[in-house]
Amino acid sequence: MNQNEAVLLTDEQMRQFITEGFLILKTDFAPEFHQQLVQQLDQVYEEEGNPGNNLLPRIREMQKVFENPVIQGALTSVLGPNYMMHTHRHGHRNNTSQPGSWHKDSYWGYKRMRNHHPWWAMIMYFPQDTPAELGPTGVMPGTQNYNTRIFESDESDSEATAKGAAGTFALIHYDIWHRSTPNVLGKNRYMLKFEFMRTQAPQAPSWNNQVKEWVTPASFSAPIIQHEALWRETWNWLSGQAGRSRDASLSASEVGDSVEQLMNQLKQEDQAARAAAADKLGLLGTNALHAGAVEALASALEDSFEPVALNAAYGLSRMGQQGIDSLLQALTKGEVSVSRTAAYGLSASGKQAVSGLIQSLGSKRAETVAHAVFALGELRQSAAEAVPALISLLTHEAQYVRHEVVEALGNIGTPSGQIVAALTKCLQDPDTQVRFMTGLSLAKLGSSAEDAVPQLITALDDENRYVRGHAAEALKHIGTSRAKDALINFLLDSRWCPTTTPASTFYP
């Protein structure tokens, strides 16, 4: 294998990632590489404890892992060629027979909208042979898009695990439900977790794309709820064709049911049947406007089963102005969970939704404002007219509103002068999470954020490790001479020595 050539994912692998939220892949290192890696991990953990965020410099061999063509290709395929490794890293050592609890990883207390678009991903790397009995990470396929846990804890038949030979790794959507499985062997099981972020919205497919149109996988690794409209939208977004699915309404013959049949199915007690009906109604798009489908889907936004509500939201995004109006009403007047779900639909509704979203920024309910900001950010350049209104929210009393605003401004990106000036001030926000998300947004803006360099240099001395880390990444992505000089000086001053330990402080 050419070590300089990334092994990009195939269309089918990307389809699996979109639908199921994960891939289990394997690097091609020799067994001796992983034997040495595990020996070093054993020594470090026994003598020094968990190295935490210093995992990469302390275990030097790990850098070779992230230079491996399989890992580089997987990350490039999902996050684009300029992806960023987050400064938070963690090695999990598990030797307990007790299973972990199902969870989604947090954003260190940061109350952000979880995103169906893959802006973030994680790699969980297993440096030793990890059979099921050693307790590999388990994931619940297809749950990356759900805020709620829709499955029972004992649904082990549906759980997928990252079991395999040394060098196996799970590439997962950041928001998928996962856990550690029981280690009944009692031996050390290491799982090395690293997080990655996209720094640019997709402009074209970044995987080995051969088929332009979305094709639903013929089978899944576990029973999952159908989200055809959502999957198509995500495929098009990743292809650099955001919004194209809105113009591709299907006919009743293609869907297989009439509008009337689907509306009746939406009233059934069976949750999966309701979800399927909402999905198919959405696929009909503007072809269902004459038969009351908008009203039916608007009602389904309040369904207690989250997959039904999600399908309704994405379905309404395909139904033109009538669908957008229904989503806007739910955004401002629905319960908080309904408002959030409506925001997902609005984030896929295109420029037609922008004016209504701007009006929603004046809501007295902070959650509504945050949801509207999220949707505007996902609409990116189409929402440029919202920038003045968004900037005015940077003094909002609710911290999580400001969190969403700094992220949205980085996604929209234009007019860059106004955005850079506003984000530069955010590096001094009293809220830690506003400051570290500002660094990520400035990184997305690249060289156009040059004017933020002086304040980023100040942020390199911030009390918070992630603010410092994101400031350094922003300087890297800005890439001007001034930014590079500042970054080099910072890295030299904070240089980590990977061989310095309590037992060997300076010699040999």
381 domain-assigned: no
Q: Does residue 273 sit within a domain?
A: no
DSSP string, 329-374: HHHHHS-HHHHHHHHHHHHTS-GGGHHHHHHHTT-SSHHHHHHHHH
pLDDT for res 61: 86
* Average pLDDT of the residues in 91-112: 85
Indicate whether 254 pLDDT > 90.
no
The three-state secondary structure class of 10 is strand
Residue 449 belongs to a domain with what CATH number?
1.25.10.10
Q: Which tokens go with 85?
A: 């490794």
Name the domain boundary from 168, 197, 226. 197
- Asked whether residue 2 carries a pLDDT value surpassing 90, the answer given is no
Residue 9 has pLDDT above 50, yes or no: yes
Q: Is residue 342 part of a domain?
A: no
The model's pLDDT over 198-232, given as tens digits with 9 standing for 90+, comes to 999 999 999 999 999 999 998 888 889 999 999 99
Neighbours of 156 (CB within 10 A): 11
Sign of the CA dihedral with 211 first, then 216, 217, and 220 last:
positive
Q: What is the pLDDT of residue 4?
A: 63
Mean pLDDT value across the chain = 93
Calculate the CA 110 to chain-centre distance: 14
In a domain? residue 508: no
How many beta carbons lie within 10 A of that of residue 44, not counting itself?
A: 18
pLDDT band for 508, please (50, 70, 90 cuts). low
CB 398 within 8 A of CB 404: no
Overall average pLDDT of the 162-183 stretch: 97
| Residue 152 confidence class, pLDDT cut points 50, 70, 90 | confident
Continuous segment of H or E residues that includes residue 316: helix 306-316
| Residue 251: other Cβ atoms inside 10 A | 9
- Is the confidence at residue 492, as pLDDT, over 50? yes
Q: What is the 3-state secondary structure (H, E, C) of 93-118?
A: EECCCCCCCCECCCCCCCCCCCCCCC
Maximum Cα interatomic distance, the chain, rounded to a whole number of Å: 80
How confident is the model at residue 202, as a pLDDT?
96
Amino acid letter, residue 354 = V
- Whole-number pLDDT of residue 18: 98
Sheet holding 137-139, edge to edge: 160-161, 137-139, 178-180
Among 3-12, 47-56, 244-253, 406-415, which stretch is predicted with the lowest mean pLDDT?
Answer: 244-253
H or E stretch at 405: helix 399-412
460 within a domain of the structure (yes/no): yes
Q: What is the number of alpha carbons within 13 Å of residue 448 lying toward its C-beta?
A: 15
Residue 430 lies in a domain: yes
CATH of the domain at 16: 2.60.120.620
Count CB neighbours of 148 within 10 A: 13
Asked, for residue 95, whether it belongs to a domain, the answer is: yes
**pLDDT, position 500:** 82
Is the pLDDT confidence value at 436 over 50?
A: yes
The predicted-structure confidence for 180-189, as pLDDT tens digits, reads as follows 999 999 899 9
Say what the pTM is: 0.95
Residue 119 dihedral angles phi and psi, to the nearest 5°: -80, -25
Residue 454: inside a domain, yes or no? yes
**Per residue in 317-373, pLDDT tens?**
999 999 999 999 999 999 999 999 999 999 999 999 999 999 999 999 999 999 999
pLDDT at 3 over 50: no
Contact (CB, 8 A) for 189 and 128: yes
Q: How large is the average pLDDT for residues 232-251?
A: 83
Length of the chain: 508
Percent of the chain residues topping a pLDDT of 90: 84
Checking if the pLDDT of 252 tops 80, the result is: no
pLDDT exceeds cutoff 90 at 489: yes
Bridge-based pairing state of the strands 168-173 and 22-26: antiparallel
Q: How confident is the model at residue 246 (pLDDT cuts 50, 70, 90)?
A: low
Q: What is the dihedral of CA 396, 398, 399, 403, to 10 degrees?
A: -70
Output b/e per residue, 215-249; b: 16+ Cβ within 10 A: eeeeebbeebbbbbbbbbbbbbbbbebbbbbbeeb
Q: Tally the domains of the chain.
A: 2
Cα 164 from Cα 181, distance rounded (Å)? 14
pLDDT at 253: 74
On the 0-12 / 13-18 / 19+ scale of CB atoms within 10 A, 166 is buried
pLDDT tier at 37 (50, 70, 90 boundaries)? very high
- CA distance linking residue 39 with residue 42, whole number of Å: 5
Nearest-angstrom CA–CA distance, 374 and 406: 10
Residue located via tokens 């070093």: 40
Average pLDDT over residues 470-492: 96
- For 168, the domain range is 11-148+158-197
Q: Give the highest mean pLDDT range of 55-64, 200-209, 497-506.
A: 200-209
Q: Say if CB 120 and CB 197 are below 8 A apart.
A: yes
* pLDDT for the residue 290: 79
**Contact yes or no for 489/481 (Cβ under 8 A):** no
Q: How confident is the model at residue 302 (pLDDT cuts 50, 70, 90)?
A: very high
